[in-house]
Amino acid sequence: MKVTINDVAKYAGVSIKTVSRVTNNEPSVKQATIDKVNEAIEALNYQPNLAARNLAGTKSYVIGFIYDNPNAYYVIDMQNGILSSCKDLGYELLIHPCNAKADNICEELTKMVKHARLAGLVLTPPLSEDPKILEALDKIDANYVRIIAGAKIDDETGLAVLVNDKHGAVSITQHLIELGHKNIAFLSGDQHHESTKERLSGFTQAMNNNNIVINKDNIIEGEYSFESGVNGAKELLRRDDKPTAIVACNDEIAAGALFAARLEGLDIPNDISIVGFEDSPFSRQTWPKLTTVHQPNQKIAQMATELLIAKRRAQTSEHAKIFIPEPVIRDSSSSPASK
């Protein structure tokens, strides 16, 4: 027969309520009691029924992951990071892809939160950066944590994991400048993502710090996709004054740029250096492997989920955590041939 919470309570010599408090990681439980209950859980191989817990009381044990992102690697990393923390902390995960540009997006998300009785939401860009969505969620008192680009948070009461994309972009551009590059292009991501603005700002700052005049024609708007990288690089490589290096807004764009350069018969990095951002599997699957900026999305998602649940349980006074991406130097960058 299936082991129940009653069996655990009897084995440990405590009340059912105490077992519940331990399995829910609630505060103010003595360590000796926690150890006793965990010993009983392990001995009996007890598996809490999270669905039953959701139905039994006012507390929910389901975290929602809401996203609108075409990058499958990003979504999988986020999903795995959230799921890992949920498993560790006794929660289930509900995954909800959506269209952030839909006219009814606010209504869709608020209905979903109410219907699923979610304990909280992990919001990723661009949803986490949309004031209309945040306002709608605030109106129904939804708990959420945002993963956003930036170095500081304006709202001291909201929960956020900040990714300092600008720092990463400054660093990767500085790497190219120190190699001797001056004619450097920038392939942008989607304009409605704050990360695009932050990474362009970092690129611009590094160029200005080194007194290098930026050719505005070298900044190409695009999307976070391989095809966008191909098209952007083709536009750059058609010019007489081709750039000697390209900073791509993510690794998919960089991989597309690398593909376009190969079609033109160029050698990477001898003829042109190409660098990316995020350190996704794309960066290690290209040839040569991409120089990029390390951004462990799975770890970031874990941090966000842990912060959300800890705040819900009143176990922390923290409102924000900051992650600083750093360059990873591989084979796609070198000194310009003319140097």
Least confident of 18-22, 52-56, 60-64, 300-304: 52-56
* Mean pLDDT to the nearest integer, 273-295: 93
* Mean pLDDT to the nearest integer, 323-330: 94
DSSP, collapsed to helix, strand or coil, labels residue 93 as strand
Whole-number pLDDT of residue 55:
40
Whether pLDDT at 335 is above 70:
yes
Compute the distance between CA of residue 5 and CA of residue 16 in angstroms, rounded to an integer: 7
Whether pLDDT at 23 is above 90:
no
Residue 251 CB partners (closer than 8 Å, separation 6+): 276, 277, 278, 279, 280, 282, 283, 290, 292
What are 94's two structure tokens?
Answer: 């509900």
Compute the distance between CA of residue 147 and CA of residue 322 in angstroms, rounded to an integer: 10
Do residues 211 and 278 both lie within one domain? Answer: yes
Whether pLDDT at 88 is above 60:
yes
What are 38's two structure tokens?
Answer: 């965990």
- Mean pLDDT score across all residues of the chain: 89
- Residue 336 within any structural domain of the chain: no
Residues in the chain: 339
> What CATH number does residue 193 fall under?
3.40.50.2300
What are 308's two structure tokens?
Answer: 């959300």
Whether pLDDT at 51 is above 60:
no
Radius of gyration of the chain (CA): 24
Do residues 170 and 289 both lie within one domain? Answer: yes
* Mean pLDDT to the nearest integer, 232-243: 94
Let me know: does 20 contact 50? Beta carbons within 8 Å.
Answer: no
When pLDDT is cut at 50, 70 and 90, the band that residue 57 belongs to is very low
Whole-number pLDDT of residue 48:
65
The number of CA neighbours under 13 Å toward the Cβ of 335 is: 6
Do residues 139 and 282 both lie within one domain? Answer: no
Do residues 225 and 264 both lie within one domain? Answer: yes
Do residues 149 and 215 both lie within one domain? Answer: no
* Mean pLDDT to the nearest integer, 217-236: 95
- Specify the higher pLDDT residue, 261 or 71: 261
Let me know: does 147 contact 101? Beta carbons within 8 Å.
Answer: no
- Specify the higher pLDDT residue, 155 or 339: 155
Q: Per residue in 188-204, pLDDT tens?
A: 998 888 999 999 999 99
> What CATH number does residue 10 fall under?
1.10.260.40
Do residues 108 and 215 both lie within one domain? Answer: no
Instruction: Please indicate, yes or no, whether the overall pTM of this predicted structure exceeds 0.85.
Output: no
Do residues 175 and 281 both lie within one domain? Answer: yes
Whether pLDDT at 268 is above 70:
yes
* Mean pLDDT to the nearest integer, 166-180: 97
Do residues 177 and 260 both lie within one domain? Answer: yes
- Residue 331 within any structural domain of the chain: no
Do residues 67 and 136 both lie within one domain? Answer: yes
Whole-number pLDDT of residue 90:
87
Whole-number pLDDT of residue 25:
65
Burial of 177 (0-12, 13-18, 19+ CB in 10 A): middle
Residue 290 amino acid letter:
L
Residue 29 CB partners (closer than 8 Å, separation 6+): 18, 21, 22
DSSP 28-66: S--HHHHHHHHHHHHHHT----HHHHHHHSS---EEEEE
The range of the structural domain enclosing residue 23 comes to 5-56
DSSP, collapsed to helix, strand or coil, labels residue 155 as coil
Whole-number pLDDT of residue 142:
86
Whole-number pLDDT of residue 24:
65
Do residues 284 and 213 both lie within one domain? Answer: yes
Whether pLDDT at 127 is above 80:
yes
The total number of structural domains in the chain stands at 3
What are 330's two structure tokens?
Answer: 């591989």
Do residues 184 and 270 both lie within one domain? Answer: yes
Whether pLDDT at 56 is above 70:
no
Compute the distance between CA of residue 152 and CA of residue 150 in angstroms, rounded to an integer: 6
